[in-house]
């Protein structure tokens, strides 16, 4: 009998007891709205912003309703509007082109490399076509940020980082989200801290911070923020910045604060699982692993490998065979998007030129989630199953 896997690729860990207790406190006092405060009370949303800014070393932080909302708010706050072009990855998730569409702009897609990072040569070629880059560290792979920033600085391109998969990661010791003008994070259930839905945004630029806070729906109550620029900064913009409500509430913030305190431990646990998968798949037939740069400290909350230049039929077969044994692989090369979209050609409202180099890589990417409910033995078993099926499919 060949072994199977019975764990769930979508089952996250429970909310820690400390988070449950904090959430119950909020439910009992009833002040869920972030600006509904008792005398002397700071509120969980403002405290989360203060915690997050301190943790990541940013001057300002804002908690919002989702990661996608943080991206659209960052675009608006740096001045992107109707008809503008925005550089972004051809390999990203639907909320990224969605955020660009939300502000009436359109994407200029930049290709992907075999390291699953943005193609910096392609970026250098296209940098003159837009004033802003919305950069996704897709699936947690961080590109050479020194070179990326050099290209963008030289071309006068403002960088917004989508760190949905890199909360807790660093490049040469600099936290992900701290190279560009704005860093955006998601606290949706499948990301690194879980409040169901939610997002965060950080910046050191007081004007961007003030505009983002006004945009998020602060009703002139910006003095109740603990990680915001001084009230004078708001004077210049408060009558000219629309309220596009997307605040975070105290309940979700209460759930997140203990998780943020525990994030370093979680990162270590994710990476142990990631390394178990990597070890188990090393030199598997037909499988190319993604070598992680020394200077990248990543968060292995998902795992990718490539089946480069293999026929679609074989990859489909591999996915089906692994699926039959309980190992859920996602394939970005499938003809129709299933459950998610991460390819530039799935977003037909934002037309793109042909990108054959990118197509070659996307059609080879296999991906799986690595929830912390998996044990190290689970990861070793998953790798054995993939390895056996890859041998059956690619050596047949
Ligand atoms: C999850 C995610 C987002 C934001 O998603 P929300 O569901 O809106 O929080 C943005 N970019 C990428 C790459 C993501 O995976």
φ, ψ of residue 242 to 5 degrees: the values are -70, 155
pLDDT (tens digit, 9 = 90+) per residue, 358-390?
999 999 999 999 999 999 999 999 999 999 999
**Would the CB of 95 count as within 6 Å of ligand 1?**
yes
pLDDT (tens digit, 9 = 90+) per residue, 79-138?
999 999 999 999 999 999 999 999 999 999 999 999 999 999 999 999 999 999 999 999
**Would the CB of 68 count as within 6 Å of ligand 1?**
yes
**Would the CB of 161 count as within 6 Å of ligand 1?**
no
Asked if 295 and 356 count as a contact pair (C-beta separation under 8 A), the reply is no
Q: In whole angstroms, give the CA distance from residue 98 to residue 159.
A: 17
The residue to which tokens 């070598």 are assigned: 291
**Would the CB of 168 count as within 6 Å of ligand 1?**
no
**Residue 348 confidence (pLDDT):** 86
Lowest mean pLDDT among 28-37, 121-130, 347-356: 347-356
Sign of the alpha-carbon torsion through 354, 356, 358, 363: positive
**Residue 218 confidence (pLDDT):** 95
Among 186, 159, 221, smallest CA distance to 63 is for 186
- Put residue 168 in one of left, alpha, beta given phi > 0 → left and psi -120 to 50 → alpha: left
The DSSP result for 169-222, as a single string, is -EETTEETTSSSSEEEEE-STTSSS--SS-EEEEES-HHHHHHHHHHTT-TT-G
φ, ψ of residue 131 to 5 degrees: the values are -95, -10
Q: In whole angstroms, give the CA distance from residue 244 to residue 68.
A: 13
**Would the CB of 67 count as within 6 Å of ligand 1?**
yes
**pTM for the full predicted model:** 0.97
**Residue 351 confidence (pLDDT):** 80
**Would the CB of 158 count as within 6 Å of ligand 1?**
no
**Residues paired with 88 in a beta bridge:** 109, 134
Q: In whole angstroms, give the CA distance from residue 343 to residue 92.
A: 7
Residue 331 in 3-state DSSP? strand
Q: In whole angstroms, give the CA distance from residue 277 to residue 271.
A: 10
Q: Which two tokens stand for residue 91?
A: 């390999």
Query: Would you give the distance in Å from CA 223 to the centre of its chain?
Result: 29
Q: In whole angstroms, give the CA distance from residue 109 to residue 358.
A: 10
Best mutation site among 72, 95, 135 for ligand 1 pocket (most ligand atoms within 8 Å of CB): 95
pLDDT (tens digit, 9 = 90+) per residue, 274-299?
999 999 999 999 999 999 999 999 99
**36 Cα: distance to centroid of ligand 1 (angstroms):** 28
The residue to which tokens 């009230």 are assigned: 231
**How large is the average pLDDT for residues 330-342?**
76
343 pLDDT more than 90: no
φ, ψ of residue 19 to 5 degrees: the values are -70, -40
Residue 352 in 3-state DSSP? coil
pLDDT (tens digit, 9 = 90+) per residue, 150-180?
999 999 999 999 999 999 999 999 999 999 9
Q: How far apart are the first and last CA of the chain?
A: 20
**Would the CB of 89 count as within 6 Å of ligand 1?**
no
φ, ψ of residue 290 to 5 degrees: the values are -100, 115
């Amino acid at each position: 009998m060949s072994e199977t896997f019975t764990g769930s690729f979508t089952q996250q860990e429970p909310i820690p007891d400390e988070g449950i207790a904090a959430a119950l406190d909020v439910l009992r006092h009833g002040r869920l709205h972030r600006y509904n405060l008792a005398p002397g009370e700071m509120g969980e949303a403002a405290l989360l912003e203060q915690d997050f800014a301190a943790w990541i070393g940013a001057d300002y932080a804002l908690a919002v309703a989702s990661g996608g909302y943080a991206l659209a708010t960052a675009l608006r706050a740096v001045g992107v509007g109707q008809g503008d072009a925005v550089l972004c990855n051809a390999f990203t998730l639907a909320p990224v082109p969605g955020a660009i569409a939300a502000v009436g702009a359109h994407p200029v897609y930049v290709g992907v490399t075999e390291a699953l990072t943005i193609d910096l040569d392609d970026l250098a070629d296209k940098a003159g076509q837009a004033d802003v880059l919305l950069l996704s560290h897709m699936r947690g792979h961080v590109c050479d940020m020194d070179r990326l920033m050099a290209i963008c600085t030289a071309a006068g391109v403002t960088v917004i980082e989508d760190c949905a998969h890199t909360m807790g990661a660093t490049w040469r010791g600099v936290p992900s989200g701290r190279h560009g003008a704005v860093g955006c994070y998601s606290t949706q259930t499948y990301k690194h801290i879980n409040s169901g839905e939610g997002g965060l945004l950080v910046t050191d630029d007081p004007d961007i911070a003030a505009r983002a806070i006004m945009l998020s729906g602060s009703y002139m109550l910006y003095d109740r923020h603990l990680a915001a620029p001084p009230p004078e900064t708001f004077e210049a913009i408060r009558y000219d910045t629309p309220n596009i409500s997307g605040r975070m509430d105290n309940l979700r913030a209460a759930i997140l604060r203990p998780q943020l305190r525990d994030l370093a431990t979680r990162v270590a646990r994710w990476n142990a699982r990631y390394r178990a998968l990597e070890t188990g798949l090393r030199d598997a037939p037909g499988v190319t692993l993604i070598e992680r740069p020394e200077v990248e400290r990543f968060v292995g909350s998902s795992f990718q490998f490539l089946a480069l230049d293999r026929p679609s039929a074989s990859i489909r077969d591999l996915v089906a065979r692994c699926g039959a044994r309980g190992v859920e692989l996602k394939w970005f090369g499938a003809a129709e998007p299933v459950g998610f979209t991460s390819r530039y050609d799935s977003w037909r409202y934002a037309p793109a030129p042909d990108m054959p180099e990118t197509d070659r890589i996307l059609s080879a990417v296999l991906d799986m989630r690595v929830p912390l409910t998996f044990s190290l033995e689970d990861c070793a078993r998953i790798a054995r199953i993939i390895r056996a099926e890859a041998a059956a499919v690619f050596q047949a």
